[in-house]
């Protein structure tokens, strides 16, 4: 299972467009509320998310319908005024431990909730006219009372990829990464480009390597704060590296056998990415040959 995929809830899109049905779901005595401490989940010993009832929510809480499980409504709550930390989530050892312990599918529910709460917290005003907006559509949009513009949660597409050349994979390390960590290169896709074009542009920008073929491998949601990671393998025309030192601290070519050994837990020239990151999935796929 790819990290953050496998959400078993029915998103129940119809309920979002039906205020009466939504109110009924919020009034359902079986309704469950995801327990969060800020943006951190509570995780049980068997890797399950913790849930509670809606009973103790403050009056101004905004409900987000995560979905239904056999008809039972599951919610997250956004509390107006909540300010998420701007520190990179990836630097929180507590969060990393929780993510590693979550059962498949549970991390996916958490990802949707986290991305939406973070989005509400940083998008309370209308980008079109500056007026404070209101939550609509069961927490899946906001609307401006002044200009009527609707705003939907962002999902930012990101390409993450390895270039391959002569049986070796190009891995890079960012500035201030933990010692020994190397991973696939990555970057935001921009307006006016395809996935394949973004992959080629990023590899060239960051490492100076030209690629001439790009194959899509897999995708995952990445809730820090709300990306769609699209993993690809590209064939490099040659292996000369010209680092963009604003982006990368180092880049190396790693032979397939070495990647395979590191993923199997053996020591090597780099530390493997965590299993919930799609870089792990991507390297596993590539290592198969």
Q: Is 269 in the site for its own copies (CB under 8 A)?
A: no
Q: Where in 64-103 is the site for its own copies (CB under 8 A)?
A: none
Whether the bond between 225 and the residue before it is cis, its omega within 30 degrees of 0, is yes
Q: Please enumerate in sequence order all residues whose Cβ is within 8 A of that of 94, keeping only pairs 6 or more positions apart, or say none.
A: 40
Q: Is 219 in the site for its own copies (CB under 8 A)?
A: yes
Q: At what angle do helices 256-263 and 278-288 cross, to 10 degrees?
A: 130
d(CA 75, CA 139): 10
Q: Is 156 in the site for its own copies (CB under 8 A)?
A: yes
User: Looking at beta carbons only, is 139 or 268 nearer to its own copies?
Assistant: 139
User: Looking at beta carbons only, is 142 or 168 nearer to its own copies?
Assistant: 142
Position of tokens 């809606």? 54
Q: Name the nearest CA neighbour of 162 among 182, 184, 183.
A: 184
Q: Name the nearest CA neighbour of 135 among 64, 235, 40.
A: 64
Q: Is 16 in the site for its own copies (CB under 8 A)?
A: no
User: Looking at beta carbons only, is 5 or 62 nearer to its own copies?
Assistant: 5
Q: Is 17 in the site for its own copies (CB under 8 A)?
A: yes
Q: Please enumerate in sequence order all residues whose Cβ is within 8 A of that of 205, keeping only pairs 6 or more positions apart, or say none.
A: 187, 244, 247
d(CA 118, CA 197): 29
Identify the residue among 23, 24, 134, 155 touching its own copies (CB under 8 A). Answer: 155
DSSP structure class, residue 274: P
Instruction: Supply the minimum distance, in Å, between the C-beta of residue 194 and its own copies.
Output: 4
Instruction: Supply the minimum distance, in Å, between the C-beta of residue 188 and its own copies.
Output: 7
d(CA 151, CA 135): 10
Q: Is 63 in the site for its own copies (CB under 8 A)?
A: no
Identify the residue among 43, 170, 184, 230 touching its own copies (CB under 8 A). Answer: 230
Sort residue 71 into left (φ over 0), alpha (ψ -120 to 50) or beta. left
Identify the residue among 26, 149, 243, 252 touching its own copies (CB under 8 A). Answer: 149
CA dihedral 235, 237, 239, 243 (to 10 degrees): -90
Q: Is 193 in the site for its own copies (CB under 8 A)?
A: yes
Q: Where in 100-129 is the site for its own copies (CB under 8 A)?
A: 108-109, 111-113, 115-116, 119, 122-129
d(CA 194, CA 197): 5
User: Looking at beta carbons only, is 105 or 268 nearer to its own copies?
Assistant: 105
Instruction: Supply the minimum distance, in Å, between the C-beta of residue 57 and its own copies.
Output: 21
User: Looking at beta carbons only, is 11 or 260 nearer to its own copies?
Assistant: 11
Residues that bind its own copies (CB under 8 A): 2, 4-5, 7, 11, 13, 17, 108-109, 111-113, 115-116, 119, 122-132, 140, 149, 151-157, 188-197, 201, 205, 216, 218-221, 223, 226, 228, 230, 246
């Amino acid at each position: 299972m790819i990290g953050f995929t496998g959400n078993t809830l029915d998103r129940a899109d119809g309920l979002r467009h039906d205020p009466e049905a939504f109110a009924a779901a919020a009034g359902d005595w079986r309704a469950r509320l995801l327990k969060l401490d800020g943006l951190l989940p509570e995780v049980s010993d068997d890797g399950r998310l913790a849930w509670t009832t809606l009973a103790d929510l403050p009056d101004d809480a905004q409900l987000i319908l995560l979905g239904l499980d056999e008809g039972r409504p599951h919610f997250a709550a956004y509390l107006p005024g909540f300010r998420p930390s701007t520190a990179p989530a990836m630097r929180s050892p507590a969060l990393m431990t929780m993510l590693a312990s979550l059962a498949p599918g549970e991390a996916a529910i958490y990802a949707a909730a986290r991305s939406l709460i973070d989005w509400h917290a940083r998008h309370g005003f209308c980008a079109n006219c500056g007026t404070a907006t209101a939550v609509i559509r069961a927490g899946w949009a906001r609307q401006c009372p002044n200009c009527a513009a609707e705003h939907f949660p962002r999902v930012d597409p990101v390409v993450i990829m390895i270039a391959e050349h002569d049986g070796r994979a190009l891995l890079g390390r960012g500035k201030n990464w933990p010692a020994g960590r190397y991973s696939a290169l990555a970057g935001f896709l921009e307006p006016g480009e395809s996935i394949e074009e973004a992959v080629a542009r990023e590899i060239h920008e960051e490492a100076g390597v030209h690629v001439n073929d790009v194959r899509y491998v897999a995708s995952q949601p990445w809730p820090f704060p709300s990306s769609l990671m699209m993993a690809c393998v590209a064939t490099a025309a040659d292996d000369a590296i010209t680092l963009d030192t604003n982006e990368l601290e180092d880049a190396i070519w790693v032979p397939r056998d070495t990647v395979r050994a590191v993923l199997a837990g053996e020591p090597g020239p780099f530390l493997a990415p965590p299993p919930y990151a799609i870089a792990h999935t991507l390297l596993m796929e590539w290592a198969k040959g």
